[in-house]
Homo-oligomer: A and B are copies of this chain.
Amino acid sequence: MTSFRLVKTCLHSKARVGELVTPHGVVSTPVFLPVASQGAIKTLTPEEVKNIGIAMVLANTYHLYLRPGISVIERVGGLHKFMGWERAILTDSGGYQIFSLARLRRVGDDGVIFRSHIDGSEHHITPELIIQFQETLGADIIMALDECPAYDDGLEKVKVATERTHRWADRCQRAQKRRDQALYAIVQGGVFPELRRQSAEYLTSLGFPGYAIGGLSLGEPKKVTFAMIEETVALLPEDKPRYLMGVGSPEDIIEAVARGCDIFDSALPTRVARNGALFAWQGRQNIRNAVYSQMEQPIVADCDCYTCRSFSAAYLHHLFNCDELLAYRLATIHNLSFISNLVNKIRSAILDGTFVAFKDSFLADYQPTNEEVRLSQKQKWLKSRHLSQ
């Protein structure tokens, strides 16, 4: 069984520390989940991911259903064994991917017909099938099927999608057979506060062991993202974990923790790492910059990750400059370590009662990547998403 226990709540913000007990270990929250859509954290072995201190990873039902197929993973003994990961796994239902990566053919209450982004083959999935797939994969936390609208869809379209998400959540809950997995529902509602509130209220009424906030950080302005998080969290039960989907930059995580979110996932730290953007306390550093070409020190002086303990910034710069595959690995190790350390510091600060001071100090030093860069990266990613994700 997977259960959640609230350990401490911050007096001056909504930040909290909790404990998720899963069949594959205890996970302290706030927690960040690196993304292993296809059953691998890009460039890393499970051993390395564990050594970084990661307690749970995210895999994607959509990707794994298409390749290698659910039955292959079943045959090999389930997803944990297949990918050689002994700690906790959360599988996303694939709702977001079906609506963003695949070519949609038809969406109805019964389910979705889509064409694979890989080979164009046609597939028909239903909420019940998605639960069955996730029960076969065997993750510790599984997600209800949701319909995820684009961030610029109008009210009517988002309303239809949100209401369908509710009916699907209900069906997913009824379809669940395994009791050792926790099924989380996904709050939708786009950028419309009223829909967000309706969604949180309806899904809460069904009683899930955890709630995700979906459909955010898709290109809308950040203040809208945070406003929607606030609207939603206000209506979610205190004693259940809140999972903010697709958010993973250092500055966004700390802001979302302050607003009461517990679980995060995003491909951002690993994706930007492969582009040569390394997290540092003063913001993202571009390792390709000539300033690093002769730097004997590691990229982050006080970082205890394998990359910073072992190599100079000059070496990392050289590897990126030569397109050596090791570059992507070393940068990924650093970025995941940075996020993992940050989340550890956040937890300690909440427990010590110093979270707000820690947050203010972090954000004062950290130069966020500006909105234009952020959006253009997102666009670039959307174009090449089947390659890069």
Chain A residues within CB distance 8 Å of chain B: 38-47, 63, 67-68, 72, 75-77, 82-84, 293-294, 296, 306, 310-312, 314-315, 317-319, 321-326, 328-330, 387
Q: Bound state CA distance, A221 and B328, in angstroms?
A: 38
Supply 17 A–B pairs (Cβ within 8 Å), ascending by A. Answer: A38-B318, A38-B319, A42-B326, A43-B329, A44-B326, A45-B306, A45-B310, A45-B326, A67-B322, A68-B293, A72-B293, A72-B318, A75-B294, A76-B296, A76-B314, A82-B315, A84-B311
The answer to whether A82 and B314 have CB atoms under 8 Å apart is: yes
Residue of B45, B67, B82 touching A329 (CB-CB under 8 A): B45
Residue of B76, B325, B330 touching A312 (CB-CB under 8 A): B76
Q: Bound state CA distance, A6 and B193, in angstroms?
A: 80
Q: Contacts A43-B326, A72-B293, A326-B45: A67 and B321 contacting too (C-beta < 8 A)?
A: yes
Chain B residues with Cβ below 8 Å from A326 are 40-45
Name the residue on B nearest A83 (C-beta): B315
Would you give the shortest CB distance from A331 to chain B, in whole angstroms? 12
The answer to whether B294 and A72 have CB atoms under 8 Å apart is: yes
Name the residue on B nearest A45 (C-beta): B326
Chain B residues with Cβ below 8 Å from A314 are 68, 72, 75-76, 82
Q: Bound state CA distance, A43 and B330, in angstroms?
A: 10
The answer to whether A39 and B318 have CB atoms under 8 Å apart is: yes
Chain B residues with Cβ below 8 Å from A293 are 68, 72
**What 5 additional pairs, Cβ within 8 angstroms, besides A43-B326, A68-B318?**
A45-B329, A72-B294, A75-B296, A325-B328, A329-B329
Quick one: copies of this chain in the complex? 2
Q: Bound state CA distance, A335 and B245, in angstroms?
A: 39
Q: Bound state CA distance, A380 and B21, in angstroms?
A: 53
Would you give the shortest CB distance from A337 to chain B, in whole angstroms? 14
The answer to whether A321 and B45 have CB atoms under 8 Å apart is: no
Would you give the shortest CB distance from A296 to chain B, in whole angstroms? 5
Name the residue on B nearest A307 (C-beta): B45
The answer to whether B82 and A322 have CB atoms under 8 Å apart is: no
Q: Bound state CA distance, A317 and B30, in angstroms?
A: 35
Q: Bound state CA distance, A197 and B99, in angstroms?
A: 70
Q: Bound state CA distance, A314 and B84, in angstroms?
A: 12
Q: Bound state CA distance, A78 and B38, in angstroms?
A: 40
Q: Bound state CA distance, A368 and B42, in angstroms?
A: 33
Q: Nearest 3 CB-CB pairs, A to B?
A: A68-B318, A43-B325, A40-B326
Chain B residues with Cβ below 8 Å from A40 are 319, 324, 326
Chain B residues with Cβ below 8 Å from A76 are 296, 312, 314-315
Chain B residues with Cβ below 8 Å from A317 are 68
Q: Contacts A72-B318, A329-B43, A329-B45: A324 and B38 contacting too (C-beta < 8 A)?
A: yes
Chain B residues with Cβ below 8 Å from A328 are 325
Would you give the shortest CB distance from A303 to chain B, in whole angstroms? 16
The answer to whether B318 and A67 have CB atoms under 8 Å apart is: yes
Q: Bound state CA distance, A63 and B321, in angstroms?
A: 12
